[in-house]
Structure 1
Amino acid sequence: MAAVGAQGGRWNDRLDLLTHFAPVWLASSLVSLLLAVLVLRRWRRWTFAALSLIAVISATMLMAVDLRRLPDRYAAADPARTLKIITFNAWTRNRDIREVARWVAAENPDILVLPEGSRLLAEAIRAETGLRVFEGSGAFIATRDKPLDERVAWDARFLAGGPTALSWVVLRGPDGTPFTVVGVHCGWPIPARAAWADAQKITALLNTMDRSRTILAGDFNSTQWSFRQRAADAAFGLERRDRAHLTWPVRLPMFHGIRFPWPFLSIDHLYAGGAWRTVSVKRGPEMGSDHYPLVATLAWLDVP
């Protein structure tokens, strides 16, 4: 019922909440199908097998957006024209700050986007990596090179939607052309009105930028399987570079942050314009947060 009902998210925001759990519906429907075939007999076997198969098809349709690999995107690139970027919701209750800073130093990124970054974590990252940390609003942004500009959309706080503002920095690309990195931390997909407003704020900001050279990263609290998020992605005008990287939860926010055995939501994303080609995207390790980090390498293309 959940897998099929999620298809109603095309028209109903409440049903769209079911789409976020597409991997759960797919896995449970496959188990149900297996049990129906192995355990049940006669008409029950075929009835429950058919219902389970319908659920498998519905959940697979939801996830098809990530099952299709984009052609000619993952390829080797000149290291001098690549950019390594990490986005990681560090979690305000994270006690492993030194571990995070040491891991970032080992990864040696060019850019780090940190939703829920703390002043203590910012100082630790500066000390371990030498990165410049812009303590904006919504997400900290750490960069290896000195930004040409650093900004926060403070006015966005007074618009409908979540209270989180948007931070961004402008950097110089390998060919000297500036590009922009936007860090975001969106609210939950409920209430839907606030979630739609968050997407509109991001879109309004992107409308002021050269999208072809823009990178957008952070914690969106929304999966790509959601019909609302698909509409937002289309409005962003950028290509999402992560593909079914399940990043939440590492631990649950309740019960004193108890460890959860496996993640089932893909809510941390990285988008980029046409000036960037994807070289690699991977999920990072557990580091005291309730999120896993995303680590991506992008290659700069010459775009007129």
Structure 2
Amino acid sequence: MGPPVKRGDVQVGDMGLLRFLYSAVILPLGWACAIAAVLAQGGRFSGHLDVLTHFAPLYVAGGVITVAASLFVAERRLPLALAAIAVLASGALIAPELLRRQSPAAPADAGGQLKLVQFNAALDAKGLEERLAWLAKEDPDILVVEDSREVFQTAVAQRLGRYMACGRTCGVAIFTRTPPLKIESPRRGRYGLGPSIAAVHMADARGEFIVAGIHYQWPTKVRTHRENGLRMLQVLKPLPKARMIVVGDFNSTPWSFDRRRDDAAIGLERRTRALPTWPANGPFGLAFLPIDHVYAGEDWRTVEIRRGPRLGSDHYPLLVLLAPK
């Protein structure tokens, strides 16, 4: 037999493969991303549909891949239309987070800075020495840890010389350089085991301030996750907000409607902006979901917020520098 006959730039022998990719890969990917992105808009009214909003970056990526793949086939109108729907609908979810205004940052040499680290340890003491070495190097004034085991808690308290405070359980543990003035021990919510909440009253040269640590249940547990937010707001409502700091693993992205509702109700500015922290244990450490957040009252200015290194957890830690206003 002779060589394959060419039609344009594509060999006839390749046409079957292209048709297969079109029907088995390109169209299903385009349909899946477009449908998910459109259904996610229903998160305004349904907690179950709101689960879809968290994965908006994946719908954008799927739309881009669909566009790129459609360039190699002749029938490209449908995949291009699906890709446009996926990108535009997902972009409508993500854009408010990228465009929202934030308060002016403080200079790097601002006085009276407070250094805080937030870290979901994923119920694992793996890499304990590496974790302790990084924490000792950063030497935070306050460390808020979710999902940590006793061996990690004891090591931090003893080897780093910190005071440890918990709520009714140590699902959230707060480690401080100086003893807290008071420890809040709020009861848990009605459903499930969450949220885990701990709060400490601290003091500096400007007076008293409050640091609260939060850990929500996964958003797929719709009723529990929503109750977590309501319980958090109930706990924080009577406390003074101007010098309050709230950090934790909220298990929700900024483009979910649930997080937007909490942002509006909490009375504090969220200082993190689309900073992905999960999953830290994926390929190449590529995190794509911002589910760990930092809130602070109006008397704090943000100096810097950045991710720490991979420390054996599926979450990256957050390093936070705040300065008095």
Q: Same fold (TM over 0.5)?
A: yes
Q: In the alignment, which of 216, 219, 241 is matched to residue 189 of structure 1? A: 219
SS in 2 for 1:169: strand
Return the offset for 1:300: 1.1
Q: More deviation in 115-124 or 208-217?
A: 115-124
- Structure 1 residue 239 corresponds to structure 2 residue 263: no
- Per-residue displacement from partner, 1:31-66 (whole Å, max 9, x unpaired)? 212222x2232xx32332122112111111111132
Q: Contact (CA 8 Å) 1:16, 1:228: kept in 2 or not? A: yes
The residue correspondences of 1:111-126 to structure 2 (distance < 5 A) are 111-126=142-157
Q: In the alignment, which of 246, 251, 256 is matched to residue 226 of structure 1? A: 256
Corresponding position of 2:53: 19
Provide closer, same or farther for how the CA distance between residues 69 and 224 of structure 1 changes in structure 2, counting only shifts above 3 A: closer
Q: Contact (CA 8 Å) 2:271, 2:302: kept in 1 or not? A: yes
Corresponding position of 1:64: 95
Corresponding position of 1:208: 238
- Structure 1 residue 39 corresponds to structure 2 residue 72: yes
Corresponding position of 2:12: none
> What amino acid maps onto 1:249 in structure 2?
P
* Count of residues in Structure 1 that have an aligned counterpart in Structure 2: 289
Structure 1 gaps, min length 5: 253-258
Bigger relative contact order, structure 1 or 2, given CA contacts below 8 A and separation 6+? Answer: 1
- Structure 1 residue 270 corresponds to structure 2 residue 294: yes
Corresponding position of 2:114: 83
Corresponding position of 1:10: 44
Q: Contact (CA 8 Å) 1:83, 1:299: kept in 2 or not? A: yes
**TM-score (normalised: structure 2):** 0.83
CA distance in 2, matches of 1:71, 1:140: 29
Q: Contact (CA 8 Å) 2:124, 2:149: kept in 1 or not? A: no
Q: Contact (CA 8 Å) 2:125, 2:148: kept in 1 or not? A: no
- Structure 1 residue 105 corresponds to structure 2 residue 136: yes
Cα RMSD over matched residues? 1.9
> What amino acid maps onto 2:208 in structure 1?
P
> What amino acid maps onto 2:307 in structure 1?
R
**TM-score (normalised: structure 1):** 0.88
- Per-residue displacement from partner, 1:121-177 (whole Å, max 9, x unpaired)? 122223442222224433110112221112211x335x34534442110111331x2
Structure 2 gaps, min length 5: 1-34
CA distance in 2, matches of 1:103, 1:121: 13
SS in 2 for 1:196: helix
Q: In the alignment, which of 150, 156, 166 is matched to residue 188 of structure 2? A: 156
Return the offset for 1:68: 1.6
Corresponding position of 1:143: 176
Q: In the alignment, which of 112, 123, 126 is matched to residue 92 of structure 1? A: 123
